Structure 1
Amino acid sequence: MDNSTLANATTDLCVDSEQTPYPSVIWVALAVLMLATFFGNLLVIVSIAYFRQLHTPTNFLVLSLAVSDMLLGVSVLPFVTFLSMTPCSIHQKFLCRVKSLFDSLLCFASILNLYCICIDRYYAICRPLSYHSKINSRVIAGMISMTWSAAVVLALVVAFGGKKNKARCAITQNMRLSFLAALCAFYVPAVVMSTLYTKILLVVRRQVRSIQVANSSESVSKAERKATLTLAKVICAFLLLWAPFSICSTYPFSLPLPVFETFKFFGWFNSALNPFIYAYSHSWYRSAFRLFLTGKIFTETCANTRLN
């Protein structure tokens, strides 16, 4: 193919794609979102890996959630920015498939990790006597493996089961495929998590009302309740931020492209928000983050430090 033919093909691609780059303010917003998602979740990952007090079944699930959120920040968001800046690239179709694959994989993994965390909290609060026998290291490893395996399968279906839309590198599927993906990754987890957390919060409320003389087992119960309430906020954020995109992608009505993309940004923002929820709601994470941000872990051994 000579230069003139290549130029004509590129021009045709630009005309057919009907794409315009994002305004500069959107690129700035994407950059801020990318950095917040990466560094916030990296802080969660290193805190859980470093401090032995955070080596609990629940926190290993939180670690898996943070990994999926962090990877979304370093892979999907840079892809989105690059594709917007180069809408006329001859490799646009291939790059769109790759972006869609990673986007779907990491979003599904993030959502399914939340689902597993909810199950863990249900056993910890509603069935405390059987919690340690039901939820152990082997079970947690199995839950994490199943989460990522299911995310890979769903991502492959979404990325390669649809066709490239002419509008800003969107991948569209038929209604059955879109509904199936949303059913597995949003609707079913949302219904199950809402039901379980409603029951969990009722149990927590009943426990608070019937607190007896403080002892070691009561101290553990308080820690479990605090972790549960923190993760309940994470679930609420997930439901609020992912609902608009999930609903609009599975029902046969059309929205202006900027509105649809804004709903997707809400979903991506959920990955950046989770670390701030941990830091705001749980003193253990605040203490761990403080030790890292002040550099104290580099001057002394803090792995066994008691986090307040």
Structure 2
Amino acid sequence: MEVNGSASNSSTLGVADTPGYLLVLKAISLCTIIVMAVLGNLLVVVSVYRYRKLRNITNCFVVSLAIADVLVSLIAMPFNASVELSGRWMFGHAMCDVWNSVDVYASTVSIIHLCCISIDRYYAIVKPLNYPLVITERLVVMMLTFVWVFPVSISFVPIFLGWYTTAEHQLFRAENPHVCKFVVNRPYAVISSSISFWIPSTIMCVMYYFVYQEAVRQAKFLYKNASAASRSQIAMNGTISPSRKGPLEGEDRAGETAQKIRHEHKAARTLGIIMGVFVLCWLPFFTWYITVSLCREACPCPDVVVVVLFWIGYLNSCLNPLIYAYFNRDFRDAFKQTLQCVFEPCCAKAAAERSSV
């Protein structure tokens, strides 16, 4: 989400005064973030498409989230980078509205995706018996449709119709075609930030609080059952043979359930970390956004701080694939195999030979 404030006014002077090596360093940094975000999220999409093990309901939301991050990376980031490197807006009023709309839209889509994922994890762990009855394919389609359609109401519609800003800013836009500022009025600031961040974040925190409590309860339950099974076996046999290679009878009965619970917990942990990183990346921006929008001139903020807040938020789009690769073994293995197929020309032939055997 973009609120370009006074940064665009002073950006031309700032770029002119910036040493060449710093400008090159800035260009490399911004381009690196953009390329990593695009390639990383495309890797997520391709990996889920290629590997059947990753095709589940939760990963439908993960793939859709990756597509939203690709949208941010291909449209919102390059326009912002062009302003930061050139010091001026070069694409006219219409593209300025498109840029701001996509920025607001994609950011809102991303966080509502995470909100849906938190609800999915809540039912998978806290209400596992109800999960297949509630989280059906039809409901997932409805949720994804809502995620992609609803944010239009706070992005493209109010921005293209001019409802988001003030009359003074409309006059400023007409007189300054080389400045793309996103100055919002107070009602739009409150409504858009609530829908885009504050309400979904609150829902996510509540959902993961219940998930955490249930995870702790289940961990204690599994520990007690394993201990009880061990004591029962010892009481029946008198002792446990050191040469026993198989599992205890009680452990064997509970093994499948325990494995399923651990799998759900790992998925919840990975997605919980993604949620936490998203909040950490966007909380500073939205705090600044609502504060500056409500108190106006009474809350000045240096331009460099505004730029840093934007790109910390954008950085989130390239962090999710790294989180999958580090914390989720299934994604990590899929990423490795996908990258091997990209960088090893003989991979496809070898795979065909293996499948024919």
Measured against the shorter chain, the TM-score band is 0.7 to 0.9
- Per-residue deviation, 1:101: 1.4
Residue in 2 aligned with 1:239?
279
Sequence identity percentage: 28
Q: Identify the residue that residue 230 of structure 1 maps to in structure 2.
A: 270
Q: For residue 4 of structure 2, what is the aligned residue in structure 1? A: none
Aligned position for 2:48:
48
**Correspondence for 1:199:** 210
Q: 1:70-89 to 2 correspondence within 5 Å? A: 70-88=70-88
* Aligned partners of 1:19 and 1:168 also within 8 Å: no
In the alignment, which of 191, 211, 215 is matched to residue 255 of structure 2?
A: 215
Assess if the C-alpha contact under 8 Å between 1:41 and 1:275 holds in 2. Answer: yes
Q: Which stretch of structure 1 is more off in the superposition, 147-156 or 119-128?
A: 147-156
Matches of 2:89 and 2:310, distance apart in 1:
23
* Contact 1:179–1:250 under 8 Å retained in 2: yes
State the Cα RMSD in Å: 2.3
Q: Does the CA-based 8 Å contact 2:102-2:156 persist in structure 1?
A: no
Counterpart residue identity of residue 324, structure 2: Y
The corresponding residue for 1:31 is 31
Query: 1:94, CA displacement in angstroms?
Result: 2.8
Q: Go from structure 1 to structure 2 and tell me whether the alpha carbon gap of 1:103 and 1:301 turns closer, same or farther (over 3 Å shift).
A: farther
Read off the aligned partner of 1:176 and give its amino acid letter: P
Check the 8 A contact 1:226/1:282 in 2, yes or no: yes
Match of 2:135 in 1: 135
Distance 2:111 2:140 in 1: 16
Q: CA deviation at 1:223?
A: 1.0
What do the CA deviations read for 1:14-45 (whole angstroms, capped 9, x no partner)? Answer: xx944324833222111000011001111111
Alignment CA distance shift 1:246-1:168 (3 Å): farther
CA 1:221/1:79 → structure 2, altered by over 3 Å: closer, same or farther? same
- Return the offset for 1:274: 0.7
Q: Distance in 2 between matches of 1:264 and 1:157?
A: 23
Query: Relative to structure 1, is the Cα distance of residues 158 and 38 closer, same or farther in structure 2, using a 3 angstrom cutoff?
Result: farther
Show the counterpart of 1:300. Answer: 351
For 2:209, the aligned partner's letter is T
Q: Are 1:179 and 2:219 matched, yes or no?
A: no
In 2, the alpha carbon distance for the partners of 1:239 and 1:192 equals 12
Q: How many residue pairs are counted as aligned between the two chains?
A: 288
Change in CA separation of 1:159 and 1:218 when aligned onto 2, cut-off 3 Å:
same
Is the contact made by 1:158 and 1:181 (CA closer than 8 Å) also made in structure 2? Answer: no
Instruction: Give the drift of 1:237.
Output: 0.5
After superposition, the Cα gap between the structure-2 partners of 1:32 and 1:134, relative to the gap in structure 1 and judged at 3 Å, is same
Question: Any unmatched runs of 5+ in structure 1?
Answer: 1-15
Which whole-Å CA distance do the structure 1 matches of 2:71 and 2:184 have between them? 25
Match of 2:203, SS state, is helix
Q: Within 5 Å, which residues of 2 pair with 1:52-131? A: 52-88=52-88, 91-131=91-131
1:82 Cα deviation (Å)?
A: 2.7
Distance in 2, Cα, partners of 1:85 & 1:132: 50
Question: Which entry has the higher C-alpha Rg, 1 or 2?
Answer: 2
Task: Please tell me the residue identity of whatever aligns with 1:195.
Answer: V
Q: Tell me if structure 2 keeps the 8 A contact 1:104–1:158.
A: no
For 2:11, give the aligned amino acid.
Q
Q: 1:176 to 1:129 in 2, by over 3 A?
A: same
* Cα pair 2:285 2:313 within 8 Å, conserved: yes
Bigger Cα displacement from structure 2, 250-259 vs 84-93 = 84-93
Assess if the C-alpha contact under 8 Å between 2:270 and 2:323 holds in 1. yes
TM-score (norm 1): 0.86
Q: Which residue of 2 aligns with 1:189?
A: 200
After the TM superposition, which residues 11-26 of structure 1 pair with which residues of structure 2 at under 5 Å, given as runs? 17-20=9-12, 21=15, 23-26=23-26
Residue in 2 aligned with 1:260?
A: 306
Distance apart, 1:240 and its partner CA: 0.8
